[in-house]
Structure 1
Amino acid sequence: MNYITALSKTVGLIGVIAVFAITSVMGQSDSKGLMDMRWKDVAVKMPEAWYASDEAKLVAENVLLTQKAIGGWEKNKPYHHPIDASTKAAYLKSKDKIGATFDNDATITELRFLANVYSKTKDERYKKAFDRGVDYILEAQYDNGGWPQFYPVRKGSVAYSGHITFNDNAMVNIMRFLKELLSDDPAFQSMQLSDSKKAKIQEAYDKGIACFLKTQIVVKGEPTAWCAQHDSVSLAPAKARSYELPSFSGSESVGIVLMLMEIENPSDEVKASINGAVKWFEEHSVGRLRIDTQTMPDGSKDRIVVEDKNAPLHWGRFYDLETEKIYFCDRDGIKKDSITEIGHERRNGYSWFTRAPEQMLEKYPEWKKRNGIN
């Protein structure tokens, strides 16, 4: 106890208890300590009873502390780790000055965690923070139904985060969360959302579906795929970082189609959207490939692509809007036809190929059968 008392002078009592408890070994089958786990897994994949534990409550204190005044959270933060006094002060100072994001599952992950702990503890502070987070989601939505990656929208070199963002499934994750809020999931049912709030959530979800349909790229009258981000006003495919140019997205489009496939009694427009996207992907595989890593003479690792008839089908991350051919791009923003034509850093530091369309193509026959489509 003397150790905890002494340490409290540095990080505060809550921080000390967090250091003591959070670093303990959890009763997991693999005996993995909590601090060795990913925050996303702690937030939603722990045993149900854990969310009622003192350990979960300590983590919840961090989540409450780090929530921005506007209602969301930053990304890529290990909220299950202890927070020292200086970091705590920085969080408190930035609450009103910096917005929040949906990138990398941020905000949605924290809200799921709060729902889990509230369902077990009924601590009204968790519900209040959860309600603020849901309000943040609703506030951040554009009138056209899309969501930016970051809100409030920023200016300057990161202004692209104001685009309607499908990249890394940002908008799909929001939409899936809204859908779950209206479901019979016990954790979300425990939040006891008002009828008026549920109506707003349903409206936001419906607007989101409409946005998916409005942003789908149409070629010669046929719906095809989507870009990873679209302009928030014109809805046209838009540029993000220097190597993320307006394009057909071979990855992000899949999450949109899978969500559209979940709609019961889909409209003719939704059916046409799905059929068009599937046809486009069936025609745009780049072949059966192996993505290997070789060791260079200097000991560095380098990614190589090998054609292999026994390998799975792959698709490109990006396709040119005019030629519809796969391309690769370095930080200079110049398109290349081969991954070998770009520098080592981007060649190895970005995912240029994807197998994600497999999921969509596998589900397509069952979707057609379910909806009476020949």
Structure 2
Amino acid sequence: MKKIVLILGVLTIAAGFTSAPTSAQEPVAASPAVAWSSAALRHPTDWYGSAEARRLAAIVIQHQSAEGGWPKNTDLFVPPRPDADPALNNTIDNGGTTQPLAFLARTIAAGDAESRAAFDRGLDYLLAAQQPNGGWAQFYPLRGGYHDQITYNDDAMVHVMELLRDVGDGAAPYAFVDEGRRERARQAVARGVETLLKTQVRRDGVLTGWCAQHDAQTLAPAWARRFEPPSLSGQESVGIVRFLMSLPAPRPDVVAAVDGAVAWLESAALHDTTEVFVTDAQGRRDRILAPKPGARIWARFYDLEDGRPIYIGRDSIIRRDLMQIEHERRNGYRYVGEWPETLLIRDYPAWKATLHDRA
């Protein structure tokens, strides 16, 4: 019945738009992409040993803070501006710190000894940034407010743990890391895994997913920005599940966490529904939910109590209909997506098969 109500509501709303929907896979207007973020880790292996790669590595290092971190949303292939705020150069958000470390690791593995000291400082920064709760906050040193919460948002903590996992394993391109740091990385990952397990939300005693942020003290789901409420996340839960699935010889509690989250994601899908772009009555590009037989999508936020999708704009009022969110937020934030699809139809079944083979 809930699914029918959703689709009927979409049909009623969509009737007020003047043009046919287009694919929701089109690029969404957002912050302009920088050359750094799109190109840094995508070159052939041999390129990282080139003079050009070393020149760019030297510029990347110029952006490193005194504490050892790097900023987000910055073209690190361009020298930093003299008026850049150094307080913003210490984040794991949007690839901050983890991406530059991964880039420098590639040049070091290709023979760039001059970048080694900066890499070690950055790795030490990540290890120092792990909080007593086992998680990582968005910024370190801590800045207060929601920035200090355990940050799963946009896979920030997962990216840290992926890098530390590879460092601890001595995987390429991190084979050059000394054993002392590799051991610290392994210990940090182990503590992080415990935090992932502790923060998984149970509803009526059943394991479900995770919130995008969890309270640094209580580990409970927590607010972030005004339009990011305590909730179950249809996006961030996917990255956490994928990380847990990457662990070798997973313990029974890790397997249970993955199984519980996957079952919840299956149950949370919005069936026969898709996201499309349209032109509204004012001539603006807009996104709506529309019926599509056989399709399914997921909400970014689900109510912690009843498990239903919720939508919330800058007024921080929780709503049940995406079209009640202001146009600016509806088109500037991803409230729905297909994030779990490949996990559910391909990767999770393959992972379960490997567990069966090991048994």
After TM superposition, is the score higher than 0.5?
A: yes
Within the candidate set 306, 321, 333, 2:316 is matched to 333
2:90 aligned partner: 100
Partner AA of 1:153 in structure 2: L
SS of 1:78's partner is: coil
SS of 1:149's partner is: coil
Post-superposition Cα deviations, 1:88-142, rounded to whole Å, max 9, x if no partner, equal: 4335xx54x5551001111111001111112223333x10000000000000001
Alignment check: 8 A CA contact 1:172 1:255 kept:
yes
SS of 1:187's partner is: coil
Q: In 2, Cα distance between the equivalents of 1:99 and 1:44?
A: 20
CA RMSD of aligned residues (A): 1.9
Which one has a bigger Cα radius of gyration? Answer: 1
Within the candidate set 144, 148, 171, 1:185 is matched to 171
Post-superposition Cα deviations, 1:39-70, rounded to whole Å, max 9, x if no partner, equal: 12332111222222222222112111110000
Structure 1 gaps of 5+ residues are 1-35
CA shift at 1:185, angstroms?
A: 3.4
CA shift at 1:356, angstroms?
A: 1.4
1:72 aligned partner: 69
User: Relative to structure 1, is the Cα distance of residues 263 and 186 closer, same or farther in structure 2, using a 3 angstrom cutoff?
Assistant: closer
CA shift at 1:184, angstroms?
A: 4.5
Q: In 1, Cα distance between the equivalents of 2:53 and 2:220?
A: 44
**Taking structure 1 as the reference length, what is the TM-score of the superposition?**
0.82
CA shift at 1:239, angstroms?
A: 0.1
Q: In 2, Cα distance between the equivalents of 1:304 and 1:42?
A: 32
CA shift at 1:149, angstroms?
A: 1.0
2:132 aligned partner: 143
SS of 1:185's partner is: coil
Q: How does 1:250-329 map to 2 (within 5 A)?
A: 250-310=234-294, 312-329=295-312
User: Relative to structure 1, is the Cα distance of residues 138 and 350 closer, same or farther in structure 2, using a 3 angstrom cutoff?
Assistant: same
1:173 aligned partner: 159
Within the candidate set 105, 115, 118, 2:105 is matched to 115
Q: Percent same amino acid among aligned pairs?
A: 39
2:7 aligned partner: none
Within the candidate set 171, 174, 198, 2:182 is matched to 198
Where does structure 1 differ by over 4 angstroms across 4 or more consecutive aligned residues? none
2:82 aligned partner: 89
SS of 1:55's partner is: helix
Are 2:46 and 1:49 aligned?
Answer: yes
Q: In 2, Cα distance between the equivalents of 1:364 and 1:115?
A: 30
**Taking structure 2 as the reference length, what is the TM-score of the superposition?**
0.86
Work out the number of aligned pairs and report it: 325
Greater Cα shift, 128-137 or 283-292: 283-292
Within the candidate set 200, 205, 208, 1:221 is matched to 205
Structure 2 gaps of 5+ residues are 1-32
Q: In 1, Cα distance between the equivalents of 2:229 and 2:341?
A: 24
Partner AA of 2:279 in structure 1: T
Alignment check: 8 A CA contact 1:290 1:307 kept:
yes
